[in-house]
Amino acid sequence: MPFFVYRVGPSTDEGASEFTTPTRVSLGGNRGPLYRYASRRIADAPAETVKWEIQETEIIHELGFSPVEEFAIVVDLFPRETRYVSLFQIRRVWGISHKDWTPLAIQLRTLVDDEAANPAVFKQRFSAPENGKLVHEFLYLRGGTQWGGWGWGMVGSVNGTLLWPNDFNHFVNCIRPFV
């Protein structure tokens, strides 16, 4: 599941934005924006478990993109698909950093969902409505408050995170205001 930063500008379609000039970025790893942001929260509140939240604009800042221009972080959910495109914009990420792992709830805004197109051409420049539906995805990073390289958890035909009751309830409470 690759991540890209797109420039965002006005579209010729009313109520839409145009996404151009994609740059592939990495969000995981111990040099990535999620680690850099969370590590400051962990340092401010040293504990075995630290809860944190980061907005899309803060992730873009952590990645070093200009604050003067408007950018969006876009997830390509099916990068190998050759007949349609599904692209979602990251709006915010909630994390719970435990000793050696960090489950995440990622809020996504639907940009393009199963659009029939030539993906290689479509992904270079597209328009999307500004009122795309919100969806949420749960993932995890292999790293936390005391250990880890902060790489993504196993990726395969079935992937996701086990959420113990306290973590699940925290994420539900974070998401609830948006649904």
Chain segment 5-57, per-residue pLDDT in tens: 999 998 888 889 999 999 999 999 999 999 999 999 999 887 889 999 999 99
| pLDDT the model gives residue 153 | 82
pLDDT in tens, the chain (179 residues): 899 999 999 888 888 999 999 999 999 999 999 999 999 999 988 788 999 999 999 999 999 998 778 999 999 988 898 999 999 999 999 999 999 999 999 999 999 999 899 999 999 999 999 889 999 999 999 999 998 899 998 765 556 788 999 999 999 999 999 98
| pLDDT the model gives residue 125 | 95
| Residues paired with 81 in a beta bridge | none
Going from N- to C-terminal start, the domains of the chain cover 3-178
120-123 contacts at long range (C-beta below 8 A, 24 or more positions apart): 122/85, 123/4, 123/22, 123/76, 123/85, 123/87
Q: Residues of 147-174 as b/e, b for ≥16 C-beta within 10 angstroms?
A: ebebebbeeeeeeebebeeebbebbeeb
Residue recorded with tokens 């009122």: 131
**For residues 6 and 70, what is the distance between their CA atoms, to the nearest angstrom?**
9
pTM of the model: 0.91
**For residues 26 and 32, what is the distance between their CA atoms, to the nearest angstrom?**
6
**For residues 24 and 2, what is the distance between their CA atoms, to the nearest angstrom?**
7
| pLDDT the model gives residue 149 | 92
| pLDDT the model gives residue 159 | 64
Q: Is 110 exposed, middle or buried (0-12, 13-18, 19+ CB in 10 A)?
A: middle
